[in-house]
Amino acid sequence: MNTRTILAVTIACAATLLHAEFKAGFARVDATPPLGIPMVGYFSKRNATEILDPLCVECVAVSDGKDTALIYSVDDLHLTNPFFKKAFPAITAATGVPRDRIFVHSTHTHTGPADWPRDSFTEDENQLVMDYAKMRITRLADAGRMAIKDLAPAKVGIAKSKCEKISFIRRYRMKDGSVRTNPGIYNPNVKEALGTPDEEVNVIRFRRSGAPDIAIVNFGTHTDTIGGTKISADWPGVLRKTFEEGVGGGVKCLFLNGAQGDVNHHYRFPPAGRKDIARKDIYKHMGRALAGVAMYVWDICEEVPAGKVNGIVTPTSMPANIPTADEIKWVKMFDEGKKSEIPLSGMEIKTLTSPSSRVRKLMNGPDKFDILVSNLSIGDAIAFSGMPCEPFVDLGRAVKSQSPFRMTITTSLTNGSEGYIPSTKAHHEGGYEGLSSRYAAPTGDKLVAAQLNQLKTLKEQAAK
């Protein structure tokens, strides 16, 4: 190749880079299930009897002109590995986006449907669940394709704020030394809360040319304010609707739930005003409060460079939470009708002895499992750190505080559903979440380290 040809190629490449624009697109499709479908999230089976509000699959597509990533938010308790085994290839086939740049998050609503058949469902129920799973996989593929079609030039802005007194630590040390989850308001036997909630609200603004703007809002707490058998997106649905109507101009809002394994809406000493809110309306209060905080910072987001879009997804080996001799003994006592002799109560004894409990499943191993760790980045300023579980607040805080990115959005139940993963400290303290987790105490630390390792790699690649 002569000098003139080399120069021409160099100029052409430079021109391509100069004209490559960062773009963002949005899509929302209805994914409300049929009535009668089994609902999950509690220790007893429920079947949907009404629709309180629709469930959605939402997708934000981002592109640096060369590579595209898809960020999904799904109104669902969780999406499990059998579902993803079918869903990821379908999304890639429909959009051309590779696996390492697909980020699928569940909002964790407890008034959503089962994602995959279960042994505890009837044959007809499992058929209904399977039919719905196929439909929802199609919806995921459709939303990705539509978001890419909606891509428009965009400038990126970020902002942080706080939403106080809507999320609370749900684990308490009791006066007798035990640890209980949700011991009830005004319980006189409570000694102290085991931790503090993360009240940070993160907002990403995509201000687009010739198209409505897009917001991503991130906050972490359990999505379980409604209960019952009415299908609902819970407070994230209210957040989206309130934000979109409040900002106006056709803006679209996608919500990502953060580290929420040990926090929920139960206020131990509710003030007079909070006490007057009926349980059925708490979801409205929470959604409106979060939307208000996000709207407050919307117009003052700080613009940051967009840059390269990148992603990493890797399996990471984690130690299994093998049952102790006492736990196996207690399960046998339960099966023999000696429940009253087991030194546990409430949610702890239910999770220990349920038909699908960790103790029953892991009596014979295995010693470890692989989980998928997922991270995405936009330039060298923004990262999305996805954990395939319900991580405790301290794990999310650790990732955010040590991340090399200006803003790191931590998300739970992303690209998998591995149950609760407490911090090592919380695991040793005991309680329902640690009893149910199939992962042993060091897993929380190992998960944080794996997330940070990927974030460091993405930061290095963004600088090249």
Position 272 scores a pLDDT of 76
Question: Do 258 and 193 belong together in one domain?
Answer: yes
Q: Which two tokens stand for residue 296?
A: 């407050």
Residues 254 and 164 in one domain: yes
Instruction: Quickly tell me which residue has 């099966």 as its tokens.
Output: 335
d(CA 105, CA 116): 16
Clarify whether residues 35 and 67 are in a common domain: yes
Q: For the chain, which ranges sit under pLDDT 70?
A: 1-19
Q: What is the pLDDT of residue 18?
A: 41
Closest CA to 204 of 193, 222, 217: 217
Within a domain: residue 9? no
Cα Rg, the chain, nearest whole Å:
23
CA distances from 262 to 313, 348, 392, 405, 428 (A): 25, 14, 5, 25, 14
- Asked whether residue 122 falls in the same domain as residue 251, the answer is yes
Query: Is position 40 within any domain?
Result: yes
In the sheet that 190-193 helps form, which strands lie side by side, from edge to edge?
A: 179-181, 171-174, 190-193
Both 56 and 73 in one domain: the answer is yes
- Cβ 388 vs Cβ 413: under 8 Å: yes
Give yes or no for a contact between 309 and 381, defined as CB atoms under 8 angstroms apart.
no
Claim to verify: residue 337 and residue 275 sit in the same structural domain: no
Give the domain extent around 338.
323-362
Tell me: cis bond preceding 366? Omega within 30 of 0 counts.
yes
What domain count does the chain have? Answer: 2
For residues 159 and 174, give the distance between their C-alpha atoms in angstroms, rounded to a whole number.
38
Altogether, the residues listed in the chain come to a count of: 464
How far apart, in whole angstroms, are the C-alpha atoms of residue 77 and residue 80? 10
Residue 12 placed within a domain: no
Q: What is the full DSSP assignment across 188-233?
A: TTEEEESS----EEEEEEEEESSS--EEEEEE---B-SS-TTEE--
Task: Evaluate whether 286 touches 225 at the Cβ level (below 8 Å).
Answer: yes
Q: Answer yes or no: is 185 within a domain.
A: yes
User: Same domain for 290 and 351?
Assistant: no
What values do phi and psi take at 173, rounded to 5? -85, 130
- Secondary structure element (H or E) that encloses residue 283, with its range: helix 282-298
For residues 321, 327, 332, 338, the Cα torsion angle rounded to the nearest 10 degrees is -140
Say if residues 101 and 110 touch (Cβ distance below 8 Å): no
Instruction: State how far the Cα of 382 lies from the Cα of 459, in Å rounded to an integer.
Output: 9
User: Are both 119 and 162 inside the same structural domain?
Assistant: yes
For residues 309 and 409, state if they share a domain: yes
The residue from 306, 336, 362 where one domain ends is 362
User: What single letter denotes the amino acid at residue 105?
Assistant: H
Whether 1 maps to a domain, the answer reads: no
pLDDT of residue 8: 41
Report the distance separating Cα 299 and Cα 303, nearest Å.
11
Domain presence at residue 119: yes
- Are 188 and 306 found together in one domain? yes
Nearest 5°: the CA angle 79, 85, 86 is 95
Same domain, 330 and 388: no
**How far are the Cα atoms of 50, 94, 172, 266, 361 from residue 311, in angstroms, in the given order?**
39, 19, 38, 36, 33
AA letter at 147: A
> What pLDDT was estimated at residue 2?
52
Assess if residue 4 is contained within a domain: no
- Give burial (CB, 10 Å; 0-12/13-18/19+) of 2: exposed
Residue 3 within any structural domain of the chain: no
**Any idea which residue has 């129920």 for tokens?**
125
Amino acid at 126: N
The two tokens of residue 441 are: 């105490």
Among 362, 392, 424, identify where a domain stops. Answer: 362
Of 193, 191, 192, residue with least CA distance to 175: 191
Nearby residues of 403 by Cβ (< 8 Å), 6 or more positions away = 383, 385, 452, 455
Residues 117, 203 share a domain: yes
CA distance readout (Å), 78 to 110, 361, 369: 9, 20, 19
Backbone angles phi, psi at 105, to 5 degrees: -115, 140
Residue with tokens 């499990």: 80
Residue with token string 């992962």: 439
Contact call for residues 13 and 43 (beta carbons, < 8 A)? no
